[in-house]
C-alpha cells in the first residue's frame, strides 16, 4: 500500500508543479484589485483569470496527470483515458444531469452534487484510467473491430467503468457530503474546541475535496454562521466573527513554509536543486496567497503520516487563536495579502497574536518535519526511492555521460535480454540517471549481462524491482527499450 501511495505521490507532482505559478498570478492580481477581483483593473483581471485557469481546473489536471504518471509506460492514451473518466463522472453527477435522472425533481444543495468537480474525483478518475490502460492497452479485438484494439480501446473501456463508478457515487456521495454537514453542525456547538476540530478536518479532507462541505457550514450561511460573509459585510461580532478563519494564517503564512524548509534540508544532496525550485515557489504561494496545495500535495501521498501531523497542527492553531479571541478573515485564503487587507476591517481582533503564533508554528513545523523525515526516512521531495542506498561510488556512476556515438539500440537490446526478455518486464520508468524496472520473475534477471551493455551499476530496492544506472543519457536507452516492448 505504501509503495502504491509513493507512486501516486510521484505521479501527482506533474500537475502540482504548475500550481505555484497560478498562486503568484492570483496573488498579484488580487493585490492590484482586492475588492473587484479584476472588475476595476484590466491587468488584475488578466492575471486573476490566468491563475484561475489552473486553480479552477485542478481536478481535471489531477485526472490527466495521474492517469499518465501511474500508467506503466506513460503513454498519451492513458492521459486521454483520464480525461474521459473525469468528464464522464462529472457530467453524469452534475446537478443538471441528476435533476434529469429524477424527472426534473429538485437537487438539494446539501446532497453535494454541485461540488462533484473536486480533487478526489480527479484523483479517482486518474487511478481508474491508469488501471484500465495497463489492463487493456495491448488487447486485440476481432478483425471487424481491429481499429479499436490496443490503446484506442482504453478510453472506451474507461468510460464504461466510470459509468459504473458514477452509479455507485450517485448513492454514496450525498451520504458522505450530508454527513460532513451534520458533523459541522455538531462542531459549532463545541466553541473553540469545535473550531479546532474544523481546522483539523478541513485539512484532512482536502485530498478528497470534501472540505468544501465543512467550509459551507462555517464560512457561509448554510446554517446561519457566515463567518466569512459577516466578517466582510461589517455585521460580525468583534472577537467572535473570524474564529473559523484566523487560525489558518499562522499555518499558511508560516507553518507550511517551515515544513518546506525542513523538506529542503532533508533532501539528498544531489536532489536539493530540484527540491529547491518546487519548495521555494510553493512556499511563496502559501505565504503570499494562502495557496497550500503545491506544498501539501508534495508530501500528502509520499508521507501521509506527515500530512496527518499537518492537519493536527492546523486544528491546534485554530483552537489557540480562539482561546485568545484572535480573529481575522480572508476573501481568497489565509495568506499575507489577505492578512494585510483584513487589518483595516473593524471586526478583526488582536491580529498581531496570529503573527506571533505563526513564528512559533514555523519553528514547530520545521522541527517536527525534519525529525520525522530523517527518523523514518520518509519519501518527501528529494528523497525518492531512486536515491535508495546512494553511495559515493554510485553517485559518480550517475554522473556518467555516454558518448554521442553510443549504439543505444544495441545497449537497450542487451539490457532487455538481461532483464529476462520483454515478457518479463512488468513496469518501466526512468529518472534523471536510472532505469527503474519492475520484473515479473527476478530469477530471470542476469545482472552481468545488464552490466555488459554499459550500465554503470545495478541496485535492487525490492525483490522484483531494479534500478539500472545508465547515466545522464538514460532517456535514449529508455526510448529504445520502449520501442521493443
How many Cβ atoms are within 10 Å of 475's Cβ, its own excluded?
A: 14
Cell of 122: 480527479
Look at the alpha carbons of 17, 18, 20, 23 in this order and tell me if their dihedral is positive or negative.
negative
**Residue from 161, 402, 431, 485 carrying the catalytic annotation:** 431
Beta carbons within 8 Å of 317's beta carbon, 6+ residues apart: 199, 247, 248, 250, 251, 255, 357, 361
Cell numbers 502504491 correspond to what residue? 4
Q: Are 67 and 78 in contact (CB under 8 A)?
A: yes
Cell of 343: 487589518
* Continuous H helices in 137-152: none
Nearest CA to 318 out of 485, 199, 221 is that of 199
Do you know the residue count of the chain?
Answer: 485
- Provide the b/e sequence for 320-332 (b: ≥16 CB within 10 Å): bbbebbbbbbbeb
Cell of 477: 536507452
Q: How many CA atoms lie within 13 A of 177 on its CB side?
A: 21
Beta carbons within 8 Å of 273's beta carbon, 6+ residues apart: none
In whole angstroms, what is the distance from residue 169 CA to residue 108 CA? Answer: 16
Cell numbers 513545523 correspond to what residue? 365
Beta carbons within 8 Å of 25's beta carbon, 6+ residues apart: 47, 48, 50, 51
In whole angstroms, what is the distance from residue 75 CA to residue 427 CA? Answer: 13
Look at the alpha carbons of 322, 326, 331, 337 in this order and tell me if their dihedral is positive or negative.
negative
Q: Is residue 431 annotated as part of the catalytic site, yes or no?
A: yes
Q: Are 375 and 383 in contact (CB under 8 A)?
A: no
Residue 434 pairs in a beta bridge with 469
Q: Are 129 and 55 in contact (CB under 8 A)?
A: no
DSSP letters of 429-441?
A: EE-SSEEEEEES-
Stretch (H or E) spanning 8: helix 2-16
Active site amino acids: 431
Amino acid at each position: 500500500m505504501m509503495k502504491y501511495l509513493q507512486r501516486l505521490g510521484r505521479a501527482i507532482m506533474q500537475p502540482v508543479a504548475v500550481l505555484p505559478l497560478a498562486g503568484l498570478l492570483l496573488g498579484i492580481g488580487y493585490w492590484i484589485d482586492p475588492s473587484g477581483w479584476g472588475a476595476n483593473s484590466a491587468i488584475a483581471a488578466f492575471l486573476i483569470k490566468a491563475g484561475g485557469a489552473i486553480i479552477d481546473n485542478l481536478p481535471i489536471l489531477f485526472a490527466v496527470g495521474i492517469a499518465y504518471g501511474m500508467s506503466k509506460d506513460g503513454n498519451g492514451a492513458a492521459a486521454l483515458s483520464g480525461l474521459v473518466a473525469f468528464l464522464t463522472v462529472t457530467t453524469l453527477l452534475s446537478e443538471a444531469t441528476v435533476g434529469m435522472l429524477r424527472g426534473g425533481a429538485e437537487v438539494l444543495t446539501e446532497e453535494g452534487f454541485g461540488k462533484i468537480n473536486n480533487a478526489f474525483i480527479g484523483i479517482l478518475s486518474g487511478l481508474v484510467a491508469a488501471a484500465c490502460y495497463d489492463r487493456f492497452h495491448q488487447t486485440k479485438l476481432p478483425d471487424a473491430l481491429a481499429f479499436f484494439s490496443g490503446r484506442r480501446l482504453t478510453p472506451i473501456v474507461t468510460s464504461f467503468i466510470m459509468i459504473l463508478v458514477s452509479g455507485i457515487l450517485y448513492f454514496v456521495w450525498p451520504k458522505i457530503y450530508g454527513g460532513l454537514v451534520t458533523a459541522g453542525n455538531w462542531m459549532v456547538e463545541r466553541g473553540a474546541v469545535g473550531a479546532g476540530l474544523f481546522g483539523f478536518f478541513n485539512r484532512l479532507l482536502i485530498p478528497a475535496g470534501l472540505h468544501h462541505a465543512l467550509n459551507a457550514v462555517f464560512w457561509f450561511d448554510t446554517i446561519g454562521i457566515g463567518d466569512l460573509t459577516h466578517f466582510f459585510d461589517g455585521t460580525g461580532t468583534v472577537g467572535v466573527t473570524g474564529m473559523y478563519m484566523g487560525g489558518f494564517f499562522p499555518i499558511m503564512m508560516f507553518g507550511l513554509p517551515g515544513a518546506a524548509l525542513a523538506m529542503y534540508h532533508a533532501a539528498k544532496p544531489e536532489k536539493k536543486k530540484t527540491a529547491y525550485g518546487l519548495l521555494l515557489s510553493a512556499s511563496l504561494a502559501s505565504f503570499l496567497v494562502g495557496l497550500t496545495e503545491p506544498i501539501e500535495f508534495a508530501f500528502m501521498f509520499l508521507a501521509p503520516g506527515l500530512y496527518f501531523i499537518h492537519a493536527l497542527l492546523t486544528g491546534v492553531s485554530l483552537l489557540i487563536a480562539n482561546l485568545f479571541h484572535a480573529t481575522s478573515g480572508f476573501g481568497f485564503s489565509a495568506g499575507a495579502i489577505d492578512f494585510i487587507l483584513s487589518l483595516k476591517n473593524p471586526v478583526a481582533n488582536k491580529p498581531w497574536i496570529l503573527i506571533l503564533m505563526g513564528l512559533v508554528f514555523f519553528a514547530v513545523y520545521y522541527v517536527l518535519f525534519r525529525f520525522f523525515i530523517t527518523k523514518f526516512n520518509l519519501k518527501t521531495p528529494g528523497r525518492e526511492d531512486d536515491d535508495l542506498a546512494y553511495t559515493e561510488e554510485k553517485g559518480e556512476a550517475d554522473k556518467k555521460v555516454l558518448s554521442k556515438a553510443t549504439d543505444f539500440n544495441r545497449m537497450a537490446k542487451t539490457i532487455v535480454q538481461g532483464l529476462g526478455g520483454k515478457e518479463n518486464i512488468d513496469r518501466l520508468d526512468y529518472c534523471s540517471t536510472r532505469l527503474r524496472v519492475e520484473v515479473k520473475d527476478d530469477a530471470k534477471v542476469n545482472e552481468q549481462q545488464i552490466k555488459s551493455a554499459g550500465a554503470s551499476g545495478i541496485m535492487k530496492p525490492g525483490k522484483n524491482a531494479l534500478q539500472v544506472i545508465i547515466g545522464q543519457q538514460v532517456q535514449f536507452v529508455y526510448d529504445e527499450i520502449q520501442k521493443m516492448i
